[in-house]
Amino acid sequence: MALDRTAPNSLGLPKPPAETRVVVAMSGGVDSSVVAAMLKEEGYDVVGVTLQLYDHGAALARKGACCAGQDIHDARRVAEAMGFPHYVLDYENMFREAVIEEFADAYLAGATPVPCIRCNERVKFKDLLGTARDLDADCMATGHYIRRLEGPGGPELHAAADPNRDQSYFLFSTTPEQLSFLRFPLGHLASKAETRALAARYGLSVADKPDSQDICFVPNGNYASVIEKLRPGAADPGEIVDMQGRVLGTHRGVIHYTIGQRRGLGIGGLEDPLYVVRLDTGTRRVVVGPKEALSTRTVPVREINWLGDGRFESRAERPVSVRIRSTRPPRPAIVRPLSATTAEVELLDPEEGVSPGQACVFYETGGSRILGGGWIWRGA
């Protein structure tokens, strides 16, 4: 019986796996390694690519961060074991300009940035995706836990089957054009245990490798030390004041504080606990107040990437679920478009600790589809 060459393969492309080239973005961790091994076993023409995002020598000593020297070595070992080519691309300058510099400036402006989103948006799904096209790839696959499903209007982005692993918060800025080229083979798995079981079945050396925890260029989670190095003088001391402007103490640099923070303020002896409610970078003041002062109902959002049906600005408002932090579940809200890329989001139940610089991601009410999202740009 003749092979139907127009029938879609497991990646939804109309040709046999052997004639389908897939570039796999390999971080050196278990997730992307399993993707590469899985596709190779299915007979695809796999090409592994790992990005060197900062100084290789410094990276070798870092533990618990992605894209470090050991991770490059691990990705190469997987490629050798499975028998497909592997390339390391030096994206250090691009990563610094597109991600690290903005990260430092955002913190200096009193925001709480999410550099992993910018990395996906500006490096992995832009420049790396372009490199994949240059390699004559038919698509690019990653180890992200998210699902790409075909809808009536084309590819849709949906939350992962495992809510504990879902990475949709970090991928909301994926454009429709990028989505047409991307594939996420792990999004349907029920748990990380399934991924590790697959790694063991393929005999991968990374099967038991721990998950990365830190932002790759922030060793030990010490944001302030990185920002001080990038922006000398960023840790200049200033005043801690209450909401009426009364001085309660001094601080060791605005970059050491985040909205909603309670511990480590160094202003003990007060009857009621106080929280950081605002960072005034112009006067180098940390403003503190009671917990209720953190409650926010209206969230201004900009740089919106819309993945839903129709034009974003074509409706006055729409009910959605929104996630304003990666660690919080989606909450009911109403989105009111102000333009094609700006909106006002009304939270039906107020949230605490909403911070400029965080993402606000829109989800279909009662469903798994990601409708897009944007960036919280000032306190409400």
Q: Kindly indicate the confidence band of residue 374, based on its pLDDT and cuts at 50, 70 and 90.
A: very high
Q: What is the pLDDT of residue 380?
A: 42
Residues 284-306: tens digit of each pLDDT: 899 999 999 999 999 999 999 99
Output the DSSP codes for 289-348. Answer: E-GGGGEEEEEEEEEEEE-SSS-GGGSS-EEEEEESSTTS--EEEEEEESSSS-EEEEEE
This model's pTM is above 0.85: yes
Catalytic residue among 66, 67, 116, 119: 119
Query: What average pLDDT does range 56-69 have in this prediction?
Result: 51
Indicate the burial class of 39 (C-beta count within 10 angstroms; 0-12, 13-18, 19 or more). Answer: buried
Domains of the chain: 17-220 (3.40.50.620), 235-289 (2.30.30.280), 294-376 (2.40.30.10)
Q: What is the pLDDT of residues 83-110, one digit of tens each?
A: 999 999 999 889 998 999 999 888 888 8
Task: Supply 310's token pair.
Answer: 């129709």
pLDDT classification of 225: cutoffs 50, 70, 90 = confident
Please indicate whether residue 233 or residue 354 has the higher confidence score (pLDDT): 354
Rounded to whole angstroms, the Cα distance separating 141 from 122 reads: 17
Q: What are the backbone dihedrals phi and psi of residue 157, each rounded to the nearest 5 degrees, phi first?
A: -100, 130
Q: Which pLDDT belongs to residue 364?
A: 97
10 vs 216, residue with greater confidence: 10
DSSP β-bridge partners for residue 299 = 345
Q: Is 116 a catalytic residue?
A: no
Buried b (16+ CB within 10 A) or exposed e, 170-201: bbbbbeeebbebbbbbbbebeebeebbebbee
Task: Tell me how far apart the alpha carbons of residues 250 and 265 are, in angstroms, rounded to a whole number.
Answer: 9
Q: What is the pLDDT of residues 108-145, one digit of tens each?
A: 888 888 899 999 999 999 999 999 999 999 999 999 99
Q: Is the pLDDT of residue 333 over 90?
A: yes
pLDDT tens by residue, 226-258 = 888 888 877 888 999 999 999 999 998 888 888
Q: Is the pLDDT of residue 150 over 50?
A: yes
Average pLDDT over the chain reads 89
Please say if the pLDDT value at position 55 is more than 70: no
Q: Which residues contact 134 (CB under 8 A, 6 or more apart)?
A: none
d(CA 308, CA 337): 13
**Does the active-site annotation cover 216?**
yes
**By the 8 A CB rule, do 30 and 23 touch?**
no
Catalytic residue among 66, 116, 139, 216: 216
User: What's the rounded Cα separation, in Å, for the pair 141 and 82?
Assistant: 16
69: helix, strand or coil: helix
User: Minimal CA–CA distance to 359: which of 123, 96, 173?
Assistant: 173
Q: How far apart are CA 67 and CA 336, in angstroms?
A: 39
Q: At what angle do helices 192-201 and 30-41 cross, to 10 degrees?
A: 50
